[in-house]
């Protein structure tokens, strides 16, 4: 079994934005701490970068 350093919860937000490329995904640490902050991705590129970062830092 693979162990992950940090678990995240995520939520999505729906808005009335007219930009078809914009979407928001918020990642919150499952065990909040003073050092871990919420990560917000606002487009697909940011989301991919964050997922790649998480994969590399397991």
Q: What is the pLDDT of residue 18?
A: 81
Asked if residue 1 is part of any domain, the answer here is: no
Q: What is the pLDDT of residue 5?
A: 62
| pLDDT band for position 1 (cuts 50, 70, 90) | very low
Asked if residue 2 is part of any domain, the answer here is: no
Q: What is the pLDDT of residue 48?
A: 92
What are the tokens at 25?
């995904």
Q: How many domains does the chain have?
A: 1
Q: Which domain holds residue 17?
A: 8-56
Helices (H), the chain: 44-56
What's the CA gap between 46 and 58, in Å, rounded? 19
What are 4-57's pLDDT values in tens digits? Answer: 566 788 777 677 878 777 778 888 887 776 666 788 888 888 989 988 988 887
Asked if residue 41 is part of any domain, the answer here is: yes
């Amino acid at each position: 079994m693979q162990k992950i350093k940090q678990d995240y919860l995520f939520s999505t937000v729906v808005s009335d934005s007219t930009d078809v490329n914009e979407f928001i995904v918020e990642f919150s640490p499952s065990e909040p701490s003073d050092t871990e902050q919420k990560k917000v991705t606002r487009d697909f590129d940011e989301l991919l970068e964050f997922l790649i970062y998480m994969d590399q830092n397991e």
